[in-house]
Amino acid sequence: MHSLAKSTLFLLLLLAALSAHAQKFEGLATRPPLGWNSWNTFATNINEQLVKDMADLFVSSGLKDAGYEYIVLDDGWMAKERDASGNLIADPVKFPGGMKAVADYVHARGLKFGLYNCAGSKTCAGYPGSRGHEYQDARLYASWGVDFLKYDWCGAGKMNAEEAYTTMRDALYAAKRPMVFSICEWGDNQPWNWATPIGHLWRITGDIANCWNCEEGHGSWSSWGVLRILDMRKGIRKASGPGHWNDFDMMEVGNGMTVSEDRAHFALWSMMASPLIMGNDLRSASKQTLEILGNKEVIAVNQDSLGIQAMRYLDENGDLDVWAKPLSNGDWAICFLNRSETPYQLQFDWSKHRISEDITGRNLQFSDANYQVRDLFQHKNIGTTKVVLNAVVPVHDVIMLRLQKS
């Protein structure tokens, strides 16, 4: 056999052997990841100083103490071409110190560092993708100290999504540095049906937009408002759980919606056990924005160890949603969402309701038990479930409660 053919055969056998024993890194993302991503606000206009500023603000603003830990650079961090050896290069103008130095800076503040690439030959912004370089790129990320890889789907052509993401999963495992693997193929190939053994989270829709209930068309694809994403997928709750999350996309809190809409957005993503990845400029964030993002009581619902995605319990004529999420220790989170254009006068008689949840098999029969009721945005107890809840839910806002058995 020709020596080149032998080398090729050896390489194929080696990759097959590696794949046979490969798996995703277990013990990661046992709770939805919390962090920040550059794309929503900065697109490809990113640089070394921006990362340092975000890392410092995580610490000084209290966001790190609230649980946020990942700083993820999205598309545009690399040079337009690979080097002579086929390696990715950090853009020397944007990142003059190199990517390892950036990762070291983030790590020195007790945080974790993430990068972006694409399964296709080009990223969505036209930079080098990983197709054909998966193992090479994974080794490079490991050498830089990367903790999180967001892997997009642009330029994928007729590639099989499950196979493409499995290849990168295997490459990451072979590189021997545990990394959270974030699958970003927009839900087009129904990853909730196959991605649990491959990734730690998977996007369920196309990109989010900083609007409440809109669709922004871009020709062959669209961006979606908060309500559109909330309503887009049905019947995928059971796919989500510790180590494998339905990802509702990065948050737009602080990016131009009303304070009520920001609060509802944050509450809903927390109820849905979605990763909470900020997408705003923390350097100019208002006090109200930071209070929403840093709300430890709401974050605790998102980070609950059961890892159950909320269910829509009630829909009042399209005006009011009632979402329910079972929590550990027998607690429940309840979220009243006003979808309408007028304030909603809520009169909720707990005794008339029974909530049955099919993942845990738990039933909440209010007539048989009494729960303390805590408002998670007012940070105070507001009574018990033996008393009718009378409150006004503002336009595009929520009342989010935690119920604890008396």
Within a domain: 3? no
Residues 290, 316 within the same domain: no
Task: Give the percent of the chain with pLDDT over 70.
Answer: 95
pLDDT at 6: 52
Segment 341-372, tens digit of pLDDT: 999 999 999 999 999 999 999 999 998 889 99
pLDDT at 317: 87
Segment 119-141, tens digit of pLDDT: 999 999 999 999 999 999 999 99
Within a domain: 323? yes
Tell me the β-bridge partners of 37.
72
CATH number, domain containing residue 171: 3.20.20.70
- Spell out the residues 6+ positions from residue 10 whose beta carbon is closer than 8 angstroms to its own: none
Residues 318, 289 within the same domain: no
pLDDT at 18: 47
CATH number, domain containing residue 339: 2.60.40.1180
Element spanning 276, H or E: strand 276-278
Residues 188, 133 within the same domain: yes
State the average pLDDT over residues 22-32: 95
Confidence of residue 4 (pLDDT cuts 50, 70, 90): very low
Q: b or e along 196-221 (b: 16 or more beta carbons within 10 Å of the residue's beta carbon)?
A: bebbbbbbbbbbbbbbbeeebeeeee
Expressed as residue numbers, the domain containing 284 is 16-302
Residues 236, 316 within the same domain: no
Which sign does the torsion angle of CA 133, 136, 140, 145 carry? positive
- Spell out the residues 6+ positions from residue 158 whose beta carbon is closer than 8 angstroms to its own: none
Confidence of residue 406 (pLDDT cuts 50, 70, 90): confident
Residues 244, 220 within the same domain: yes
Within a domain: 9? no
Confidence of residue 154 (pLDDT cuts 50, 70, 90): very high
Taking the C-alpha atoms of residue 239 and residue 192, their distance in angstroms, rounded to an integer, is: 6
Element spanning 382, H or E: strand 380-384
Within a domain: 391? yes
Tell me the β-bridge partners of 321.
315, 337
Task: Give the percent of the chain with pLDDT over 90.
Answer: 92
Within a domain: 8? no
Question: 328 exposed, middle or buried (CB, 10 Å; 0-12, 13-18, 19+)?
Answer: exposed
Residue linked to tokens 């990068």? 115
Residue linked to tokens 């036209």? 126
Residues 23, 136 within the same domain: yes
Residues 253, 163 within the same domain: yes
Q: Which residue has the higher pLDDT, 364 or 149?
A: 149
Instruction: Name the E strands within 20-120.
Output: 34-37, 70-72, 112-118
- Angstrom CA distances, 78 to 45, 46, 74, 96, 278, stand at 12, 10, 10, 12, 22
Which sign does the torsion angle of CA 46, 48, 51, 56 carry? negative
Question: Do the bridges between strand 112-118 and strand 70-72 make them parallel or antiparallel, or are there none, so unpaired?
Answer: parallel
User: In the predicted model, is pLDDT for residue 8 greater than 80?
Assistant: no
Q: Which residue has the higher pLDDT, 164 or 406?
A: 164
Residues 292, 319 within the same domain: no
Q: b or e along 70-89 (b: 16 or more beta carbons within 10 Å of the residue's beta carbon)?
A: bbbbbbbbbbeebeeeeebb
State the average pLDDT over residues 268-285: 98
Indicate the residue among 302, 335, 359 that finishes a domain. 302
Cβ atoms < 10 Å from Cβ of 155: 16
Taking the C-alpha atoms of residue 36 and residue 172, their distance in angstroms, rounded to an integer, is: 22
Segment 48-96, tens digit of pLDDT: 999 999 999 999 999 999 999 999 999 999 999 999 999 999 999 999 9
Residues 258, 316 within the same domain: no
Residues 231, 336 within the same domain: no
Taking the C-alpha atoms of residue 396 and residue 319, their distance in angstroms, rounded to an integer, is: 10
pLDDT at 22: 80
Within a domain: 70? yes
- Is 321 part of the annotated catalytic residue set? no
State the average pLDDT over residues 322-339: 97
Indicate the residue among 302, 330, 346 that finishes a domain. 302
Taking the C-alpha atoms of residue 239 and residue 318, their distance in angstroms, rounded to an integer, is: 26
74, 75, 137, 152: which one is catalytic?
A: 152
Please give the backbone phi and psi of residue 98, each rounded to the nearest 5 degrees, phi first. Answer: 85, 160
Segment 367-385, tens digit of pLDDT: 888 999 999 999 999 999 9
- Is 207 part of the annotated catalytic residue set? yes
Residues 174, 260 within the same domain: yes
74, 207, 247, 321: which one is catalytic?
A: 207
Within a domain: 98? yes
Taking the C-alpha atoms of residue 140 and residue 100, their distance in angstroms, rounded to an integer, is: 10
Within a domain: 81? yes
Indicate the residue among 302, 325, 360 that finishes a domain. 302
Nearest to 376 by CA among 344, 401, 406: 401
Confidence of residue 29 (pLDDT cuts 50, 70, 90): very high
Number of structural domains in the chain: 2
Segment 183-211, tens digit of pLDDT: 999 999 999 999 999 999 999 999 999 99
Residues 268, 322 within the same domain: no
Confidence of residue 5 (pLDDT cuts 50, 70, 90): low
Please give the backbone phi and psi of residue 154, each rounded to the nearest 5 degrees, phi first. Answer: -70, 150
